[in-house]
Structure 1
Amino acid sequence: MAKLSKQDKIEIFNLWRNYNIRPKELGRRYGINSANIRYLLALIQCHGLAILDQPYTEYSLEFKKQAIIRVLVKHEPAYQVALDLGLKSNGMLHNWLSKYPKMGITSLSIRKD
């Protein structure tokens, strides 16, 4: 799979928005799975193009735990949680979900404030 530059991502978004080119076609053009294109488009729609300026982020264990709680305890869709949090890919949260016991997260209780 090709790695997209910031300019590629902006171009993909503009082609989709201005010319109604479907994610499947954009995926073929850029060598990216169409599901990843759809996530990118949704992420930019939700957070704007500024989301592309964020540098590499190291997420804290507490941040990951709160995301996992939203999915496993509060039953929010993982896709929506990933978008809300502005994660660079939908797969990040799925990875956290599959590995949360190995991360040292032993309790998924919700704190009552």
Structure 2
Amino acid sequence: MLTYENKVEIYTRRKTGETINSISSRFKVHKSDIKYLIRLIDYHGLEIVKPTKRKIYLDEFKEQAINRILVDGDSIKSVAIELGFSSDSILSNWVKYYLKNGNTLKKDNKRSFSMKKTIKATNTPKSIEKNVKEENLYLKEEILYLKAENEYLKKLKALAQNSKK
């Protein structure tokens, strides 16, 4: 992991003409990471690479960044640099998570492992009917949520297309 001083030295060496290959060898850092660091400092200045506490981003902020990539067609690197991320992998992971979880950042509170269920000896007609009603209610709520999400995405896409014109 690079220190603040390492990052400043890398930037200084690059700006004085040293090649990315030689910097990469000297600091044992991949060339693409050096290129990203240079672009980040060019955009924000040296302040951006000073050590800070780990940031926590709101879902709304994450969704706006993801939409710039998926809807507006901006590149992950350019958005990550503009937002001042130390690495573009932060944004890349958000996009992967978003797409993997059905275009949502909401975490499912279900357990990743199944708990043993106690099985009742007999299912009475009333308990079966109650379970069916609960299932129907859950499914209706999910349908409403998905319809609202679909409308939101349609409007977002339309706004993005209108702003490009």
Q: Is TM more than 0.5 here?
A: yes
Q: Alpha-carbon deviation of 1:41?
A: 0.4
Cα distance in structure 2, aligned partners of 1:34 and 1:95: 21
Per-residue CA distance 1:24-79 (angstroms, 9 max, x = gap)? 22111111111001000000000000112251212221111110000001111111
Paired residues of 2:65 and 2:79 also in contact (CA < 8 A): yes
**Cα distance, 1:85–1:34 mapped onto 2, change above 3 Å:** same
Per the alignment, in what secondary structure is the counterpart of residue 89 of structure 1?
Answer: coil
User: What is the alpha-carbon distance in structure 1 between the residues aligned to residue 19 and residue 61 of structure 2?
Assistant: 34
1 or 2 for the larger relative contact order (CA 8 Å, sep ≥6)?
1
Residue aligning to 2:12: 14
Distance 1:30 1:92 in 2: 22
Kindly tell me: are residues 74 and 54 of structure 1, through their superposed partners in 2, closer, same or farther at Cα, counting changes over 3 Å?
farther
5+ residue gaps, structure 2: 108-145, 160-165
Distance in 1, Cα, partners of 2:84 & 2:28: 23
RMSD across aligned C-alpha pairs, in angstroms? 2.1
Percent identity of paired positions between Structure 1 and Structure 2: 30
CA distance in 2 between partners of 1:8 and 1:23 (Å): 14
Looking at structure 2, the residues matched to 12 and 24 of structure 1 have their Cα atoms a distance apart, in angstroms, of: 12
How far apart in 1 are the matches of 2:42 and 2:88?
15
TM-score (norm. length: structure 1): 0.86
How high is the TM-score relative to the length of structure 2? 0.60
Does 2:64 align with 1:66? yes
Query: C-alpha separation between the residues in 2 aligned to 1:72 and 1:54?
Result: 30
Matched letter for residue 43 of structure 1: L
Unaligned runs of 5+ in 1: none
Matched positions, count: 109
Q: Give 1 or 2 for the bigger CA radius of gyration.
A: 2
1:5 is displaced (CA, Å) by: 0.1
Alignment of 1:29-48 (within 5 A): 29-48=26-45
20-29 or 7-16, which deviates more: 20-29
Matched letter for residue 12 of structure 1:
I
